Chains A and B, each alone.
Chain A
């Protein structure tokens, strides 16, 4: 359920088999070649223990900015269809310490596969009152408000 969580989801059809897509998440040398938001931001894999209970630690080198360290551990690994891992940004980043969770689902789709990456628990809900449909609304609302860039003072 996404009603009480803040999350983001990416869905993409890829022209390769689930096995090939899965391998891109499973091998450190492959991960280092794609798991960054843009080619300018490079990734050094500091630690990579790809098994259930194993942990990883990535260093993101951002041009003209501080290196961002992301770490977590794998809770579910089910080749070639599912991977679940935690995702925590380390200090001194402004968003450090939030224990978010990423679920990767890969399904066979004719000649290729469909990849769904869902990043959730972006906001801790245990400390917050539950509010049906509130989160979705909150995120939509926020997006809308920020789109009014410059239309209110601060």
Chain B
């Protein structure tokens, strides 16, 4: 059973250096066209298009088509969900081990 395919897509999208750089380029609400990104990363347009498609499928960027120009901007929802998942377990175990320590020391719990 696997009900969070989006989370897999998000991490898949983030597991590539070029795509991470592209996300950085789009940070702070900036909008960039596929052409601008291609020039910036000195990659062939099909390569850039492929990376943008992966980011789009993961819900990390959204595409606006204006005539022949495809503009991209960042959406934060997907990133936040992935961040919460990791942070949630980090916080869970840190909190739990604190409580374990208190329990073993015979201190007051709750």
Residues of A within 8 A of B (CB): 6, 8, 10, 12, 14-16, 20-21, 24, 30, 33-39, 42, 88, 91, 94-100, 115, 117, 119, 122-124, 127-129, 131, 134-135, 137-139, 141-143, 145-146, 148, 151-154
Contacts and interface: CB of A to CB of B under 8 A. Distances in A.
Interface of B: 1-4, 7-8, 11-12, 14-17, 20, 23, 26-30, 73-77, 79-97, 99-105, 109-110
Contacts, number: 151
Contacts of B80: 146
Given A131-B15, A146-B79, A153-B76, 15 more contacts: A35-B96, A36-B99, A37-B91, A37-B96, A38-B95, A117-B97, A122-B85, A129-B15, A138-B15, A145-B23, A145-B27, A145-B79, A146-B83, A152-B27, A152-B76
A39 B14 contact: no
A123 B82 CA distance: 9
